[in-house]
Structure 1
Amino acid sequence: MLFLECNNIKKYFGDRLIIDIESLRLYFEDRVGLVGVNGAGKTTLVNILSRRLEPDEGWVKLYGSYSYVSQLEPPKSKRISSEWASKFKVSSIWRESMSGGEKTRFKLAECFNSDSLMIFADEPTSNIDMEGIELIENRLAEYQGGLVVISHDRSFLDKLCNKIIEVENGKIKIYTGNYSEYSDQKAKESQRAQFEYKQYLNEKKRLEQVTADLKQKTKSIKKTPARMGNSEARLHKMGAQKAKASLARTVKNTRARIEHLEVKEKPLQQKVIKLDVADSKKIYSKVIIEGRNISKNFNAKVIFEDAEFNIDNGAKVALIGPNGCGKSTLLKMIINRDAGIEIAPGAKVGYFSQDMSIVDENLTILENVLADSIYQETFARIFLSRLLFKREDVFKKVSALSGGERVKVSFAKILLKDFNLLILDEPTNYLDIYSLDVIEEALRNYNSTLLFASHDRRFISAVADRIMTIDNHQIKIFNGNFEDYLAKRNQAPDNSLEDMKKQIFVLQNRLSEIIGRLSMPSKKDDLQALDREYHMVLNELKRLKAGC
């Protein structure tokens, strides 16, 4: 069933055409992920589609109710039902003192509370921890309406989307499937473009060779020999002229075929970014970072208590955990070499933080990156072009860049210096999807030690070979990748038969008590709550009995 349609949409910012769409139709069953580079116009497009922003040309029609979720805008209502507040694990009353993640969950709960047929969401997982992202994913997966979401979280787009709309140079291109399927289709498009370009070059080269051979053949036609009589000479000359004319026509036709070949532009071939730490800068200690008897608290809040950890040489460690558990605190303690923390001699630490203090706003992109770089300018410019800073873009002053662009410059500067230990705090925030792929590739090929905090599951899966967690004021390291860690974490507890029998006994007694209170309720009893508990206990009993 049709929910939205638009036609001949154009939107300008000054004299720059930001959005230029011939037509688009969305249906109630569509779950769309909008992707594109920073500044491509994704938010502008969503605002136009939701009729919150009028296009300069064209029209948009909506055929149902919708909700809009943005990081920057407050909710329409300051109170939601206790049911949806509970499902999103948030207070039912809006408070400005809420964390960023709590505010986003409140706004999404408000969407469900209003029974909207479509949800438009702009970066709903930004600055939210992994647990919060998974909660939002699960609720949106249960949602029966349509969805249009801007997100750089590829795992999020994989789980929720059945269409991907790519925004590039104001135009849109629609792909069926989730993000991984979109990525596969893009790879096939690239392979096809390479094949067609090669075919074009081969055919052009063949026709040019035909032209050259014909010209040479024309030159080889002999002139009339002097010994010939007049009649013979006249016949010979006429034959030569006819042959030359025929060859000239063939040359002309061949040139015309060259001119009418469909020109194929040379596809961009991405060069692999391999970051090598020179042998003279390598660390040969077995342990790069060691923590012993680490304690930290903020007033009454304890973060670490006699915690210990080791990070081995060459390890790529992802530090994960909920917001507020102490990830950034631990990284700063390592950088500052707090009491109990030792870093191997010879370590030269590169630190990426959210304040991006490593870049100089008064210098250009290229000047920033080349300062103290161990690589030549050519390599630096290749890396910057992969991050979508191309040609003259590298001469822009950092002060003129967007937040996402500054993040990319900070990354380039850190990765091209002679650091042999990288510590990164939430490095994927504000990066577009295409730049994420480049950074992942660079860090996978990085031949030294890496420690980073992140909530981006795809990024963690692609880069990390160790998982560090903070639990009950202690620091633990799992030797394995993210998938192995999740499999281990999700293993069912090995309950003995005796333990299960004890649980069944307790639940049976509770079930008898609930049935008694439902049969003869007192004035204080909440019958709805008792009924919900009855079904919950009954289902748990069935599960346990099935396992015995």
Structure 2
Amino acid sequence: MIHLTNIHKQYGSQVLFRGASLQVLPATRTGLVGANGAGKTSVFRLMMGEEEADKGEISCSKKTVIGYFSQDVGEMSGRSVLDEVMSAAGEIVAMGARMREMEARMGEPMSDDEMAALLEEYGNTVDAFEHRGGYELDSQAKEILTGLRFSNSDLILPVESFSGGWKMRIALAKILLIGPDVLLLDEPTNHLDIESILWLESWLTNEFKGALLMTCHDREFMNRIVSRIIEIGNEGATTYGGDYDFYLKEREIRREQLLASYRRQQEMLSKEEDFIAKFAARVSHAAQVQSRIKKLDKIERIVLPPEQRVMKFDFPVPPRSGDDVLHLKDLGKEWQTAHGEIKPVFSGLTGSIRRLEKIALVGVNGAGKSTLLKVITGQTEATSGEVLTGASLATGYFSQHSMDLLYPGQTVFEAVQETLPLENIGTIRNLLAAFLFQGDDVDKKISSLSGGEKSRVVLAKMLAQPLNFLVLDEPTNHLDIQSREVLLKALKKFEGTLILVSHDRHFLRSLVNRVFEIDHGEMRSYEGDYDYYLREHEKHNI
């Protein structure tokens, strides 16, 4: 369907691809992986024709319909949510209009040749219209929007009234509606809650019949969807036949094999070079020396790819808190809307958090999870009830909002130094290096950082403090899979108490030992891990 053959691509002095080849075949489900900056987004842009290769060939049938979802959704305004999504299917709507025109013409007198040509065009148009889901377009648009957690009343609202995260969902719905032959998804789960992720997972598995190529930081989502991995890096593309977990194991096996071959070759080269150096001046060995020199010149040297940089850190041992960390007593919260209306979020929440517990806070989007964390950390006041904190509690709070609290004019170094005013430069640089800020990176302005880089700065600032209670609201957003794994390992070893919100099921499944669920304004406690919660939750909803 889409073939990139012997592609060369360079930006200034940075070489992304040198003779790289990859292909997207019909009905394949492929994950695209690689370090930040390796060239994953460039692959999408090359396939879409938004960029051109310096050398090489990109081939794709003109009839192939490609849908591309990126993190840059562009401007949306002037339409309702439903109309905005339907606008993506303009070509399909035009097919329907053309069919009606042809149907009207069939009732008019014409020659046999004209009728035959009209019938042939009509048949081709009907086939294409059916293939693209034209007859179910309106109902499918509503089904997709419902799956992405839009209510019926949302569908008539103007798109400009929605936040950036919800606009991303609208953009995703537009791509899914057109039913492309090839679907390119760049981080589709970034702004979705668990319920929306589960729906998208089901839709891609059961409804979508085309080929899929996607990047995704959600490990479980990748494992459930893809059966093939293409790794971008070292100026090339390497294909693995399997899911993401298989890729990790196979990549390690291949690297060990390459390392073994490299060592054998280095040992052989060393012996040959020693022989040449020892006998180069002897006339009696001249022929042997020249033969070995020619042999070495013909050998293709094995080059080891550089190790991928990942975060490396552990939380410091925190001071001990009291055994009772937190108690919620009849907690309630209401928000006042811009129109003066009172909107209840939750009420009567009661529960306790004990030392060393690692708790997941779950619930549908809008249930009040982030609001509860803000109340717990004193970011906002409860409307009713109270939060009783235990002795010797040192709390750290991470949210997307805390990223906004970073001062844009500061450098990365200054932002962390602000938290550690008494530490020397070396200590701060070592801490930043653990979060992938090395060399000149520490002098980058906060305003120039990506979302993932800002997340790492906030985490570094938290690590610098002796905290025994961590409150984390979507800490994995913007972090790649490798960084998520490092954070997961650090949190598993963290010798304090933790409550977090996350839509990463692998993260929750591997970490938490207790679950709080907010549902319709009330809170239930599940005294077990995330899998236990899922089983019990399913029983309650049968």
**Interval containing the TM-score (normalised by the shorter chain):** 0.7 to 0.9
> How far does residue 84 in structure 1 lie from its aligned partner after superposition?
4.0
How high is the sequence identity, in percent, across the aligned residues?
A: 30
Partner of 1:160: 225
Which segment drifts farther, 127-136 or 310-319? 310-319
Partner of 2:333: 296
The answer (yes or no) to whether the contact 1:38–1:431 under 8 Å persists in 2 is no
Partner of 2:400: 354
Partner of 1:311: 353
The answer (yes or no) to whether the contact 2:473–2:502 under 8 Å persists in 1 is yes
Which segment drifts farther, 58-67 or 78-87? 78-87
Cα shift readout 1:166-189 (whole Å, capped 9, x = no counterpart): 223553222221111112223334
The structure with higher relative contact order (CA 8 Å, sep 6+) is: 2
Amino acid at match of 1:365: V
- Pairing 1:464–2:464 present: no
Which segment drifts farther, 188-197 or 317-326? 188-197
The answer (yes or no) to whether the contact 1:51–1:60 under 8 Å persists in 2 is no
Task: Supply the distance in 2 between the matched residues of 1:146 and 1:442 (Cα, whole angstroms).
Answer: 37
Where 1:418 maps in the other structure, the secondary structure is coil
Amino acid at match of 2:185: A
> How far does residue 487 in structure 1 lie from its aligned partner after superposition?
2.1
Task: Supply the distance in 2 between the matched residues of 1:10 and 1:181 (Cα, whole angstroms).
Answer: 28
Cα shift readout 1:129-168 (whole Å, capped 9, x = no counterpart): 1101110110011111101112111111111112222223
> How far does residue 34 in structure 1 lie from its aligned partner after superposition?
1.6
Task: Supply the distance in 2 between the matched residues of 1:128 and 1:145 (Cα, whole angstroms).
Answer: 22
- Pairing 1:274–2:314 present: yes
Where 2:539 maps in the other structure, the secondary structure is coil
The answer (yes or no) to whether the contact 2:400–2:474 under 8 Å persists in 1 is yes
Structure 2: unaligned runs, 5 residues or longer: 77-83, 90-136, 337-341
Cα shift readout 1:347-403 (whole Å, capped 9, x = no counterpart): 121111213156454444345445545999777656644543344434434343222
Q: 1:370 to 1:479 in 2, by over 3 A?
A: farther
Amino acid at match of 1:344: G
Task: Supply the distance in 2 between the matched residues of 1:13 and 1:462 (Cα, whole angstroms).
Answer: 40
The answer (yes or no) to whether the contact 2:234–2:305 under 8 Å persists in 1 is no
Task: Supply the distance in 1 between the matched residues of 2:233 and 2:533 (Cα, whole angstroms).
Answer: 37
Select which of 131, 136, 140 maps to 2:204.
140
The answer (yes or no) to whether the contact 2:311–2:483 under 8 Å persists in 1 is no
Task: Supply the distance in 2 between the matched residues of 1:271 and 1:382 (Cα, whole angstroms).
Answer: 12
What is the Cα-based RMSD across aligned positions, in Å?
4.0
Partner of 1:66: 66
Q: Pairwise mapping of residues 99-498 of structure 1 onto structure 2 (< 5 A)? A: 103-142=167-206, 143-168=208-233, 170-192=235-257, 273-278=313-318, 281-283=319-321, 285-299=322-336, 300-336=342-378, 338=381, 340-355=386-401, 356-357=403-404, 359-369=406-416, 371-372=418-419, 384-385=432-433, 387-491=435-539
> How far does residue 413 in structure 1 lie from its aligned partner after superposition?
1.9
Count of matched residue positions in the alignment of Structure 1 and Structure 2? 460
The answer (yes or no) to whether the contact 1:375–1:416 under 8 Å persists in 2 is no
Where 1:52 maps in the other structure, the secondary structure is coil
Amino acid at match of 1:286: D
> How far does residue 52 in structure 1 lie from its aligned partner after superposition?
3.3
Cα shift readout 1:284-313 (whole Å, capped 9, x = no counterpart): x11212111111112432112121121111
Where 2:315 maps in the other structure, the secondary structure is coil
Task: Supply the distance in 1 between the matched residues of 2:305 and 2:173 (Cα, whole angstroms).
Answer: 48
Which segment drifts farther, 308-317 or 47-56? 47-56
> How far does residue 404 in structure 1 lie from its aligned partner after superposition?
1.6
The answer (yes or no) to whether the contact 1:197–1:266 under 8 Å persists in 2 is no
Where 1:28 maps in the other structure, the secondary structure is coil
Where 1:81 maps in the other structure, the secondary structure is helix
Cα shift readout 1:91-116 (whole Å, capped 9, x = no counterpart): 66684034666555554554454342
Q: 1:205 to 1:272 in 2, by over 3 A?
A: farther
Task: Supply the distance in 1 between the matched residues of 2:367 and 2:334 (Cα, whole angstroms).
Answer: 11
Cα shift readout 1:242-263 (whole Å, capped 9, x = no counterpart): xx99999999999999999967
Partner of 1:6: 4
Where 1:427 maps in the other structure, the secondary structure is coil
Where 2:454 maps in the other structure, the secondary structure is helix
Amino acid at match of 2:139: S
Structure 1: unaligned runs, 5 residues or longer: 216-243, 495-548
Select which of 121, 138, 145 maps to 1:81.
138
Partner of 2:116: none
The answer (yes or no) to whether the contact 2:10–2:16 under 8 Å persists in 1 is yes
TM-score by length of structure 2 reads 0.72
Where 2:35 maps in the other structure, the secondary structure is coil
TM-score by length of structure 1 reads 0.72
Q: Pairwise mapping of residues 522-541 of structure 1 onto structure 2 (< 5 A)? A: none
The answer (yes or no) to whether the contact 1:365–1:398 under 8 Å persists in 2 is yes
Q: 1:379 to 1:479 in 2, by over 3 A?
A: farther
Amino acid at match of 2:229: I
- Pairing 1:27–2:92 present: no
> How far does residue 343 in structure 1 lie from its aligned partner after superposition?
1.9
Where 1:475 maps in the other structure, the secondary structure is strand
Task: Supply the distance in 1 between the matched residues of 2:343 and 2:253 (Cα, whole angstroms).
Answer: 53
Task: Supply the distance in 2 between the matched residues of 1:492 and 1:308 (Cα, whole angstroms).
Answer: 20
The answer (yes or no) to whether the contact 1:190–1:267 under 8 Å persists in 2 is no
The answer (yes or no) to whether the contact 1:94–1:106 under 8 Å persists in 2 is no
